[in-house]
Amino acid sequence: MSVSEPALDLTPIRLNRRFSQRTVVSSRGLLPTLYRSAEICQKLDITNGELHDWMRNGLPYQQDARGHLWFEGQSLAAWVERVRETWPRQALQPNEAYCLRCRRAVPLANPVQRREGQHILHIAQCPHCGCTIHRGDADD
């Protein structure tokens, strides 16, 4: 059985489609066991093409002598989480900003607004760690 090395450097990630919420939530429920590709596609609500897209972008997998692909559940879940960290803006709600220190979306409370060319910058303090957080919006 050959094992692909987990990618240490995940950039650049160029997935054709971002993860759906169902994919993210379902990945967290995977067990520390090996899954066939069809099981992964069904559980995570993705197509086989998307799964191969993930593999091209560093998803760890194993291939047996018959050419079947196997995916270890918790390695897959960890990969999904790490990829999501490279997409901080994706998880943001309209009233959230991304805190670089906490490495997650936090509520944008009482932001100060400042115009920066074509953008409006919302500046506030992270309610968890107190550092300054920014959020830019297009001015339209």
- Residues 117 and 138: their CA atoms lie apart, in Å, by 10
**From the CB of 133, what's the least distance to Zn ion, in Å?**
7
E-state strands within the chain: 2-3, 34-36, 62-63, 69-72, 96-99, 104-107, 112-116, 119-125, 132-138
- Residues 61 and 1: their CA atoms lie apart, in Å, by 10
Q: Which is nearer to Zn ion, 45 or 96 (CB)?
A: 96
Residues near Zn ion (CB under 5 A) are 99, 101-102, 126, 128-129
Q: Which is nearer to Zn ion, 101 or 114 (CB)?
A: 101
What CA–CA distances, in Å, run from 4 to 7, 22, 43? 9, 26, 22
Q: Which is nearer to Zn ion, 3 or 109 (CB)?
A: 109
Q: Which is nearer to Zn ion, 26 or 135 (CB)?
A: 135
**From the CB of 22, what's the least distance to Zn ion, in Å?**
28
Return the residue nearest Zn ion (CB atom): 126
**From the CB of 137, what's the least distance to Zn ion, in Å?**
20
